[in-house]
């Protein structure tokens, strides 16, 4: 079983989502989430990416007592 993160965008943002998917698909780096696939439905565009557990970056920074200068 592979868990993925799904990003949903409205149909009118199709070009933007496809551009993001193209960029993600072209990058291989241990600090950037891996692109899995994209899909289009009648109501939305979807980008599926590698799932990274542990919360988002903001939560991690706040939890560690770190911050931006």
CATH at residue 56: 3.30.200.20
Rounded Cα distance between 32 and 9, Å, is 20
Q: How confident is the model at residue 5 (pLDDT cuts 50, 70, 90)?
A: very high
pLDDT at 53: 82
Is the Cβ–Cβ distance between 14 and 40 less than 8 Å?
A: yes
In a domain, residue 32? The reply is yes
Would you say residue 31 lies in a domain? yes
Per the document, the length of the chain is 69
Higher-pLDDT residue of 53 and 6 is: 6
Per-residue pLDDT band for 61 (boundaries 50, 70, 90) equals confident
For the chain, give the mean pLDDT. 85
- The Cα 46–Cα 57 span in angstroms is 22
Domain span at residue 49 reads 4-63
* Residue 27: pLDDT band with limits 50, 70, 90: very high
Q: In total, how many domains does the chain have?
A: 1
With the C-alpha atoms ordered 3, 31, 41, 11, is the resulting torsion angle positive or negative? positive
Q: Is 7 helix (H, G, I), strand (E, B) or coil?
A: strand
């Amino acid at each position: 079983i592979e868990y993925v993160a799904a990003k949903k965008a409205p149909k009118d943002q199709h070009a933007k989502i496809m551009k993001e998917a193209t960029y993600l698909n072209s990058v291989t780096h241990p600090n950037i989430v891996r692109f899995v696939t994209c899909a289009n439905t009648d109501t939305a565009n979807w980008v599926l990416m590698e799932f990274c557990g542990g919360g988002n970056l903001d939560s991690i920074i706040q939890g560690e007592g770190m911050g931006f200068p």
